[in-house]
Structure formats: structure tokens, C-alpha cells
Amino acid sequence: MSAATEAEQSKRRSLKPLSRLLPYVMRYRKLVAGAVFFLGLAAATTLALPLAVRRMIDHGFSAADSGFINNYFGMMAILAVILALASAMRYYFVITIGERVVSDLRRDVFAHVTKLSPAFFDVNQSGEIVSRLTADTTQIKSAVGATASLALRNSILCLGAMAMMIATSPRLSILVLAAIPIIVFPLVAFGRSVRRRSRAAQDTLAEASAFAGETIGAARTVQAFNAEGIATERYGAAVEQAYEAARAAIKSRALLTGVAITLVFGSIVAVLWFGAQSVLAGTLSAGTLGQFLLYSLIAAGSMGTLSEVWGELSQASGAAERLGELLQEVSQVAAPTNPVPLPVPPLGRVSFADVHFAYPSSISRSALKGLSFRVEPGETVAIVGPSGAGKSTVFSLILRFYDPVSGTVRIDDVDIREADPQKVRARIAIVPQDVTIFAATIHDNIAFGSTGATRAMVEAAAEAAQATEFIQRLENGFDTQVGERGITLSGGQRQRIAIARALLRNAPLLLLDEATSALDAESETLVQKALDGLMKDRTTIVIAHRLATVLKADRILVLDDGHIAEEGTHHSLIREGGLYAKLARLQFETGGSDFTAPASE
Ligand SMILES: Nc1ncnc2c1ncn2[C@@H]1O[C@H](COP(=O)(O)OP(=O)(O)OP(=O)(O)O)[C@@H](O)[C@H]1O
């Protein structure tokens, strides 16, 4: 085993990460107090039962003593009722704590993750994060609730039963103590192998699940390529592998159970044999032996449970550690302690001053190389340039998804690194190329990001975005539920929803990434009209793909390899005969409507 995996193993075995959960648990002191009280009561009642049994055996069953026997049976019945009540209450408190803590944890992790900068999402898969949010928290739920209470109950029972064993018969207890190492050592060794194998089984299953998630998410593509068979085969093979891994784990576990029972009961039988000899010799009463037997059964049973619980707790500890890492992740674009306020009313001015930038995930390749430009309030500026020139990167920096390596990005004359990112983004409306539609109603999709928007405002935005007509034709109008990722809407409809969303936000600065996919003439006209309404009276920076858009712009910035290669109007740039003229010529020659596609040459 390599040093790294060994370190990882010992880490996995440590339960320390579970202490991270303590503050969550301690928020609910009353629940914890209730759980501990009933846990103690149930354990004490269980430990009291064998005492009653001994008195009964020793007293013997003779008809003359029916009153005495009745008393004892009455007491046992009362103990049973207390045990039942205490167990029910313990269950209620313990499980409620688990559910409560995990709900809080899920909310906290989600809130934290959604605030992390895009640099985090460049290197972390969303599927994995979601799995942490669901699978890891579920593991913690059982750990904090049921498993922790099992561990505590059985620890109390085990210690209590052992103490009672010593009190009952010190001589027999010494024999039991001598047997413990014989039982424990093989079990610990076996337990390790079981854990290793269960871990392997879990990992294989996680891989199979990831594949299933990806394939089901892309069901359309899979069917279009007739790849259902291959996908099923691959999934089948992965599931089979997970089965084999699980079977290996089950085998070791079965063996562990067999060995454990043999050792534990073998030892008990041996100890009892000695006990029986003592009873025969008259040095021990039969009742005491019975009492001892019951305590050793309780101790053995609770030890068995503890060994199982240990495995579950160490799994939960791994989950707590992963979630802890996620919670410790620091956003790279946090707000400064004393943010500089942005001027009121907003101006709508943007400037880049000698901005150099490389994505954190590919730091050696500069995406922007000394970019400088200025966009004045109310201006419409088009950015054009070959694919990969850095156009989308400009938008990402304006939105402060990333910070420049050097140079300054200013909005309304304030360096956005010194402002609160939320305040900066509140001044920006964006219509991206790939519109994100959520699985919600049309109304909620338009109102997304505009808290407090009234129904009338949403409808007015839809009207201005030329969307009312198609929305009204939907089954439930604005209350129609759209499918995941807006799958039930056409491309043009999705764009108009995005435009309505941006209109409703009513921000002074509009970032528009024109869609490259061609719409039919009617949709195109509607989208164009909607956009004209949106761009009116605000500063607009548009990544332009259409001639109509560049013709309308006050100014065109031609971006090439992370810097501004040319600047001017359509006509002046054509006259210059540089990169823009080449891009435009290619467009006319091919008759296409996309400016950026012809990147080569
Ligand atoms: N998240 C990212 N992580 C690492 N590199 C990136 C990331 N996004 C873009 N890049 C790289 O940065 C450079 C500029 O990309 P950008 O997306 O800004 O180009 P673009 O001009 O918008 O291109 P297109 O017209 O094709 O969308 C490219 O070389 C690209 O590979």
C-alpha cells in the first residue's frame, strides 16, 4: 500500500471530521437533552431486567410464593412499559435531530456553493457537487441520528453490562476479560477487510450512477445516434462490476458474522461451563449465573452492534470531511470588507484598462492581453472577432466572475474589485447565447432575478419582448410549466423569455451575446424587435454575430487574440481593409449570417 493510500485509510478511519457537525447538533439542545435522557432511561431499564430474573430464579417457583412471583412479574411488566416508552421517545428525538441537522447542512452547503466563483465550477463537476449535497448528507443523517444513538446506547449497555457482570461475579468476569482479546483481535482484522471491500463496492456503484445520470440527461442524443444498446451494455457492465464488488464485501461480512458469533458464543459457553461447575460446587447460586448470562449476552450483543456501527460512522465521517472541504472553499471574488459604493443614480459606463487575464484552470494561456476600451453611457458597442478571441471572457470580467491578473475593470468609474459583486451585478442585465430556462412557470422564468416583480410587471416585460402572443397560446399562459432546460420551447421563444427577463431587471448596462443559431425569418424579426426595445436607453455591449447588429452599433471593437485589433464603424473598418474587412468579406461570400465562425486564415 502506498503512503498516500495508507494516509487516506487512516484518515477514513478517524471519526474526527464528525466533530464538524457538533455546532449543528448543539443548535438543538432541547432535542439533544431529550434524546440523551430517554437513551439513558432505556439503557438503565434494560440493565435492570436481569436483576429481576435472578431474584425470581433464586427464589424458586413454589405455589406458596405466588404473591412474591406476581410482584416480580408486575415489576417486570412495568420495566417493559418504561423500556417501550423510553425507546419510542428516544427514536423520536434522535431521528428528528438527524433530519434537522441534515436539512440545515444541506441549506448551508447549497448557499455556500451557489456563491462560489465560476473558477470553482471550471474544475469541479456539478454532478459531483450535487452528489455531495444529497448522498453525503444522507450518510450524515443516519450517522447523526440513528447510528450515533445506536453507538451511544450500545456503549452505555456494554459498559453497564460489564460493570454488572463484575458486580455479579468477579470470578466469571475475569474469565470473560481473558476471552475479550481472543474475540476482538480477529474481528478488528476482519473488519478492516470488510470496510475496504465495501468502499470498493461503493466507488464502483458511484461510477455506474454517474454514467447513468449522464446518459439519461442526454437521452435525445443517445437515441439520435442509436446508442441505447451500447449505453445499456456499458451500464450493465458497470452494474455487474458493482455487484461483484458488493458480493466480495458481502462474503467478507458473512465470514465476519460467522467468526464473530462463533467466538462470542463460544466464549460465553466456555464461561458458563465454569459457572455451572461453580453452581454444582455450591459457590454460586443458579439465579446469579442466570443474571450473569443475561448481562454477558447484553454485553456481547452491544459489542457486535458497536462493531457494525463503527463502519457506518467512519463512512459518515468521510462524508462530513468532504462536505467540510466544500464549506471551506473560498470564493475567489468575495466582496471586500469595506466595499466602495457605486455612484447613484447609475451611469452605465464600462472601462477596461490594460487588462491581462488567464483562466485559473489554464493559467499559462492568456485569454486577454492588455485589453483597453471604454464604453460611454447610452452607447451601443459591438464586439466582433474570431472564435476564441476573448469576447465571452470580456463579459465574464464585467460580471466579475473572475478578477484580472493585472489591469482594471471599472463600472461607473469604480474598480469592480473594490465594490460588492452583488451590487455590480445588480447594474447588469445579460442575455446569453445559450439561454437558461428553469423547470418552472413562464412567469417565474421571466421574474428570475427580479425579486418583488409584480405580475403586471412580468406581463409588461413579456409584451415588450414580443412574447405575449406565444405565451397566451400555451395551455396555462404565464402559469405554464416549462420542461427542464426549457425543452418545451423553441429557440426563438427561449430568447424572447431571456429578453423579457433582462427587460424586467431594468439594469443600466446590457450585455448581449447574440445567438449564433439561425432563427426563421418570423422569429428573427420578433427577436430583433424585442432586442431593439431592450437596448433602448441603456449602455449595450453586444457580442455580435449578425451584420444587422454591427450596422446599428455606434462603435465596433474588433477583438483578436485577447486584444483590440481594430476599432471603428462598419464603414470605416471596411475601408481600413483589416481583420474586420476580412471577417465581413467572408460573411458576404458565404452568405451566412455569422461573423465569428470563419476563424481560420
Ligand atoms: N472557463 C474557461 N477555462 C479555461 N479557458 C477558457 C475558459 N473559457 C474560455 N477559455 C479560453 O479562453 C480563450 C477565450 O475564450 P472566449 O470564450 O472568451 O472566446 P470567444 O471570443 O468568446 O469565442 P467564441 O466566439 O467561440 O465564443 C479561449 O482560448 C478559450 O479556450
Cα(220) to ligand 1 centroid in Å equals: 27
Torsion of CA 438, 443, 448, 450, to 10 degrees: 180
Predicted pLDDT at 522:
65
Chain Cα centroid distance, residue 515:
31
Complex-level ipTM? 0.95
**Is this structure's pTM higher than 0.80?**
no
The residues of the chain that CATH labels 3.40.50.300 are: 434-506
Beta strands 555-560 and 380-384 are parallel
pLDDT at 6 over 50: no
Predicted pLDDT at 373:
93
Judge if the beta carbon of residue 362 lies within 6 A of ligand 1. yes
Judge if the beta carbon of residue 120 lies within 6 A of ligand 1. no
Residues forming a β-bridge with 364:
none
Q: Does domain 18-169+284-328 have CATH number 3.30.70.260?
A: no
Lowest mean pLDDT among 76-80, 96-100, 108-112, 400-404: 76-80
Give helix then strand counts, H and E, for the chain. 22, 10
Kindly state the percentage of the chain with pLDDT values over 70: 90
Mean of the pLDDT values across residues 45-71?
73
Confidence of residue 467 (pLDDT cuts 50, 70, 90): confident
Cα(542) to ligand 1 centroid in Å equals: 16
Predicted pLDDT at 13:
53
Q: Give exposure, 146-174, as e/b (b: 16+ Cβ within 10 Å).
A: bbbbbbbbbbbbbebbbebbbebbeebbe
Judge if the beta carbon of residue 117 lies within 6 A of ligand 1. no
Query: What are the φ/ψ torsions at residue 567 (nearest 5 degrees)?
Result: -150, 140
Amino acid at 40: G
> Angle 442-118-391 (CA atoms, 0-180°, nearest 5)?
85
Q: Which residue has its alpha carbon closest to ligand 1 atom 18? A: 390
Choosing from 123, 393, 398, 516 the residue with most ligand 1 atoms within 8 A of its CB, the one to mutate for a pocket test is 393
Which cell is 194 given?
470488510
Judge if the beta carbon of residue 316 lies within 6 A of ligand 1. no
Confidence of residue 4 (pLDDT cuts 50, 70, 90): very low
Cα(401) to ligand 1 centroid in Å equals: 14
Cα(395) to ligand 1 centroid in Å equals: 11
Whether the Cβ atoms of residue 497 and residue 480 lie closer than 8 Å to each other? no
pLDDT at 499 over 80: yes
Residues forming a β-bridge with 371:
355
Predicted pLDDT at 411:
93
Cα(384) to ligand 1 centroid in Å equals: 14
Which homologous superfamily does the CATH classification assign to the domain defined by 434-506? P-loop containing nucleotide triphosphate hydrolases (3.40.50.300)
- Reported in sequence order, the residue ranges of 76-186 that DSSP labels E, i.e. its strands, are none
Predicted pLDDT at 64:
61
Judge if the beta carbon of residue 360 lies within 6 A of ligand 1. no
Predicted pLDDT at 216:
84
Cα(324) to ligand 1 centroid in Å equals: 32
Predicted pLDDT at 590:
52
State the DSSP code for 508.
S
3-state secondary structure of 559: strand
The residues of the chain that CATH labels 1.20.1560.10 are: 18-169+284-328
Chain Cα centroid distance, residue 170:
53
